[in-house]
Amino acid sequence: MQHIAIALDGRTVTLEYELIGGQRDNAPLIVFLHEGLGSAATWGQWPRALCAATGCRGLVFSRVGYGHSTARPASGQGWPVDYMEREAREHLPALFVALGIDAAREPPIILGHSDGATIALLYAAAFPGHAGAVVVLAPHVFVEQVARERIARLQASWPDGRLAAHLASLHDDPAGVFQGWSGCWLSAAFSRWSIAEIIQRIASPLLAIQGKQDQFGTLEQLYEIQRRVPHAELLVLDDCRHVPHEEHPHTALSAVTVFLTKCRAQGH
């Protein structure tokens, strides 16, 4: 992993990142956005496999507070309700500038999982024309009680140390990641959070994938996307929970490859 400094919120932060297939000059770039408790490392080898299958380059990185990127300021209240909106509107564009990525001239493909999927949707809605295509795995479009109940159980089990030990293998500040993320999701203010109206602005080709047994959301997440973005393509995977690319890696890779090949053929 490499590190790069970017200016955010009046301070300089450092993000860990990796470029995949950098030798493929002029190939489309896929930007991978990790989940709410994840980091660059949680993607495993799947980004490399997808880039190899599609002939694309890839950018994998850990957002602020995650992995070995700069930690977020300590807060006992959880992260701000709009933390994903800030990632999409401020943090991701700042990273592009730092890396010399001109999203207006060569729109990247934005691919995200869970929280990262939500950020991908928000970015495509905020910057029309700056995303060549969007792929979302297990996205959050609005808050459902099933997600809050699942997160409440995780929070209740935190003292036993097992989740903390797992997150310690991924993050410099595992407690900060978990408490900030779960504190936001379980807050009263976040219970009303929704980006349903915002995503109506998405013009980019869009593929949304979700497991039928997703423990953090029902298929209403996908159906709401299609109601708001009628051109969106949906894929529901049976015998699949919240991590389609890990539980069904070959199926997810094949579906994304076919989708991106079609997008390129259509000039996106």
* Single-letter amino acid, residue 114: S
Average pLDDT for 167-185: 96
- Tell me, yes or no, if the pTM score tops 0.95: yes
Q: What is the crossing angle of helices 249-265 and 46-54, to 10°? A: 30
Tell me the C-alpha to C-alpha distance, in Å, between residue 106 and each of 30, 90, 100, 130, 132. 11, 19, 11, 8, 8
Contact criterion met (CB below 8 Å) for 205 and 134? yes
Q: Which two tokens stand for residue 67?
A: 């992995």
> How many domains does the chain contain in total?
1
Task: State CA 244 to chain mean position distance.
Answer: 13
* E-strand stretches of 74-228: 109-113, 133-137, 206-211
Average pLDDT for 241-261: 98
**How far apart, in whole angstroms, are the C-alpha atoms of residue 257 and residue 236?**
16
Does residue 229 have a pLDDT over 90? Answer: yes
Average pLDDT for 198-208: 98
CATH of the domain at 253: 3.40.50.1820
Q: Which two tokens stand for residue 43?
A: 């993607």
* 42 C-beta neighbours (distance < 10 Å), count: 18
Contact criterion met (CB below 8 Å) for 130 and 110? no
* Single-letter amino acid, residue 22: G
**Based on C-alpha coordinates, what's the Rg of the chain?**
17
pLDDT at residue 268, as a whole number: 67
> Of all helices (H) and strands (E), which one includes residue 46?
helix 46-54
Tokens 């030990």 belong to residue? 165
Q: Which two tokens stand for residue 104?
A: 């207006």
Task: State CA 268 to chain mean position distance.
Answer: 21
pLDDT by residue (tens digit) across 7-36? 987 889 999 999 999 777 789 999 999 999
* pLDDT interval class at 220 (50, 70, 90): very high
Its domain, for residue 43, covers 2-265
pLDDT at residue 20, as a whole number: 96
